[in-house]
Amino acid sequence: MPTYAYRCQECGYEFEATHAINDAPPECPECESEAVEKRITDAPTFAQGILTHAGDGRKATKEELQAKWQEETPKLRKKLEDKLGKDAVKDLPNLNLGSDD
Ligand SMILES: [Zn+2]
């Protein structure tokens, strides 16, 4: 089972817990608060930024995801261009959904 790092939002205590991915987060061992936030320690920060708001860990809405894509896609294309060459990426679908490009 994976080990997760948590931080208590009540008292700030940081701890680790090992449990299945679908289990509810544990209580804070210090103050027994259930207001603990998972600290992502090994997920790619790119994916983290796409899936959650910075800071509060809430799921992003569809609109926010779309906005995020519009922001990230040109960067990704540029990266792929640098790596594979312009010809390799020119036929990729444009996820930019019609904004400037
Ligand atoms: Zn606590």
Does residue 81 register a pLDDT over 70? yes
How many angstroms separate the alpha carbon of residue 18 from the centre of ligand 1? 17
Which helix (H) or strand (E) is 7 found in, with range?
strand 3-8
* Residues in contact with 7: Cβ distance below 8 Å, sequence separation at least 6, in sequence order: 13, 14, 36, 37, 39
Domain range for residue 63?
Answer: 43-95
Tokens of 2: 């994976």
How many angstroms separate the alpha carbon of residue 58 from the centre of ligand 1? 20
**Domain check: are 85 and 56 in the same one?**
yes
Residue 100: inside a domain, yes or no?
Answer: no
Q: What average pLDDT does this structure show over 17-39?
A: 93
How many angstroms separate the alpha carbon of residue 52 from the centre of ligand 1? 23
Confidence of residue 70 (pLDDT cuts 50, 70, 90): confident
In whole numbers, what is the pLDDT of the chain averaged over residues? 78
For position 32, which CATH number holds? 2.20.28
Residue 62: inside a domain, yes or no?
Answer: yes
How many angstroms separate the alpha carbon of residue 15 from the centre of ligand 1? 10
Does residue 46 register a pLDDT over 90? no
Between 19 and 68, residue with greater pLDDT: 19
3-state secondary structure of 11: coil
**Domain check: are 27 and 48 in the same one?**
no
